[in-house]
């Protein structure tokens, strides 16, 4: 079946450190891939997405590349800020464009000044 696995959290970094949050997936065909972010007390917001192999999604300094060969969609940012502290969710939409998303378990990021 379809599934998403993210690295365990929490991830604690100092401001301006490099961030990587790993995400791997299992799916048939070519699903669409997403990163959502949830700030404290809020709902999820789309951060970036990629719809086909080798696509790179980017937004607010975050990037993720759709790697079909390793079934991965790792999230990266070169220099994190305290305001990036949040929970990050990797998700996929299976082939067939049903609109239903399958989420990973979420990774909490805490950035310290």
Partner 1 sequence: NAGVTQTPKFRVLKTGQSMTLLCAQDMNHEYMYWYRQDPGMGLRLIHYSVGEGTTAKGEVPDGYNVSRLKKQNFLLGLESAAPSQTSVYFCASSYRDSAGNKNIQYFGAGTRLSVL
Footprint on this chain of partner 1 (rule: CB under 8 A): 4, 32, 34, 36, 41-46, 49, 51, 89, 93, 97, 99-101, 103-106
Calpha distance 39→108 (Å, rounded): 10
Rounded to a whole number of angstroms, the minimum distance from the CB of residue 79 to partner 1 is 27
Tell me how far, at minimum, the Cβ of 16 lies from partner 1, in Å. 29
- Terminal-to-terminal C-alpha distance of the chain: 41
Q: Which is nearer to partner 1, 19 or 47 (CB)?
A: 47
Given a contact cutoff of 8 angstroms between Cβ atoms, the answer to whether 26 and 113 are in contact is: no
């Amino acid at each position: 079946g379809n599934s998403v696995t993210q690295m365990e959290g929490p991830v604690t970094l100092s401001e301006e450190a490099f961030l990587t949050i790993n995400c791997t997936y299992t799916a048939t065909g070519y699903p669409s891939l997403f990163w959502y972010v949830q700030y404290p007390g809020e709902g999820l917001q789309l951060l970036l997405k990629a719809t086909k192999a080798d696509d790179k999604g980017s937004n607010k300094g975050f990037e993720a590349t759709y790697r079909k060969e390793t079934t991965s969609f790792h999230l990266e940012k070169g220099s994190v800020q305290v305001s990036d502290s949040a929970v990050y969710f990797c998700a996929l939409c299976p082939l067939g464009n049903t609109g239903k998303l399958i989420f990973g378990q979420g990774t909490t990021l805490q950035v310290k000044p």
